Amino acid sequence: MHSLGILLSGRGSNFVAIADSVDAGRIPDARIAVVISNKADAPGIAIAQERGLNALVIPSKGKPREEHDREVVAALKQNKVDLLCLAGYMRLLSPWFVQQFPHRILNIHPSLLPAFPGLEAQEQAFAYGVKVSGCTVHFVDEELDHGAIIVQKAVPVLDTDDEHTLAARILEQEHLAYTEAIKIVLEGKFTVVGRRLVTNVTSAHRGI
């Protein structure tokens, strides 16, 4: 049984999508071991509590990054997390944090990386005038929005869109993409060559 950890800072819709997939068996052989928010008022952490999940608030405000990271890593290890999913976690992980879970941290980003990393990616894409945007689930490495890509989904930008309608259509795809990516990683039927993740390799070359 895999133990998932979720880190979030806000609304928590990607967390809910993952939790629904676990409950429905779309992510087999997995449970959510802990949900952690760095913000006490994050709606996502209230939902985790309502669902009876192990929900923790570990406040980041006014704390040195390293100290906060150490508290979060301690909670994840205490709960035996073997795959960590960042779901709207609006903090950069320190290199030390990333090294604690090698190739076991995933992030979702609302653009087709490497386009539009950083904050407000949907607004950036809309303002740039791209005709196609989307979302990316990737491994977390020590650089922002950078690790090997696991799943991407494209979303057309319509002439009738504004940044809100575009963001809403991207979000629908995010919810599908995260479940797909978690399944790929937990099944381990992939290899990463350079930056390229290739699925359906033979068992001799499984995982990273």
Annotate each residue in 15-54 with x if it binds ligand GAR (CB under 6 A) or - if it does not, as one string. -----------------------------x----------
Q: Which run of H or of E encompasses 146?
A: none
Question: Using CA atoms, how far apart are residues 57 and 80, in angstroms rounded to an integer?
Answer: 18
141 lines the binding site for ligand GAR (CB under 6 A): no
Q: How far is CA 58 from the centre of its chain?
A: 18
Which one, 44 or 147, has the nearer CB to ligand GAR? 44
* 186 annotated to a ligand binding site: no
Annotate each residue in 52-91 with x if it binds ligand GAR (CB under 6 A) or - if it does not, as one string. -----------------------------------xx---
171 lines the binding site for ligand GAR (CB under 6 A): yes
* 65 annotated to a ligand binding site: yes
Which one, 16 or 208, has the nearer CB to ligand GAR? 16
Catalytic residue from among 2, 68, 103, 109: 109
SS3 per-residue string spanning 175-206: HHHHHHHHHHHHHCCEEEECCEEEECCCHHHC
Residue 109 bears catalytic tag: yes
For the CA atoms of the chain, what is the radius of gyration? Answer: 17
Strands (E), 25-139: 30-37, 55-57, 83-86, 105-109, 132-139
Active site residues: 109
